Each structure stands twice: as C-alpha cells, then as structure tokens.
Amino acid sequence: MADANYNESPQGVSVKDKFGNPIKVGDTVYTPNKLGESRIMGQVEKIIVDAEDAQIEGIKNPPKVLYRDSKGRRFDHEPNALHKVVDGESENPDRV
C-alpha cells in the first residue's frame, strides 16, 4: 500500500518531511515544540517502514524516523511531522 509520505522501491524506501523534502539516514531533522520556541533536532539513524522492523525497535504505527538529539536521547516521529534542515537553515540544536 503506497502512502503519500513514502514510496517503496526494491532498493529501499524514501520518506518525506512536512514540506515534501526527502529524508535519508544521516540527514538532520527537527520537530518544533508546541510553543514553537525551541526544537528537538538530531541526525536520522534509521527509517522504520514495516511492521517487523517496528516491532524489533519497539515502535508502533510505521513509518517512523528514528533520531537522537545532542544529548543522546532517542526520538521517533512520523516523517510528515518533521522538518528537514536544508541549506541555509541553522543546525543549532538549542533554542531557535
């Protein structure tokens, strides 16, 4: 079943952020907090797209993007809730 946020291919899966930017392992992503004053930012470690991998990682409802912040805390979010850091955007993991 194809979803608007990812397309399956024989080589792997491509997921997209809230604005349609493709997310890959190694990319820097963030999710703003509810007040929009700061954000949780980290580097993508893994992209979970199937139920088997989700169960191994203890994740529910794939697809999910797994990343760690600068303090080593692990986060998992739906791709369409994330913002990918693109050229010219600050990568400061602290307050924005």
pLDDT at residue 27, as a whole number: 94
Q: Which pair of tokens denotes residue 84? A: 């990918």
Each residue of 52-93: pLDDT tens digit?
A: 999 999 999 999 999 999 899 999 999 999 999 987 665 544
Output the furthest CA–CA distance in the chain (Å, rounded). Answer: 40
Distance CA 95, CA 76 (A): 20
Question: Do residues 6 and 23 lie in contact, with contact meaning Cβ atoms separated by under 8 Å?
Answer: no
Best CA proximity match to 59, nearest among 73, 49, 70:
49
Each residue of 36-58: pLDDT tens digit?
A: 667 889 999 999 999 999 999 99
Domains of the chain: 6-84 (2.30.30.1060)
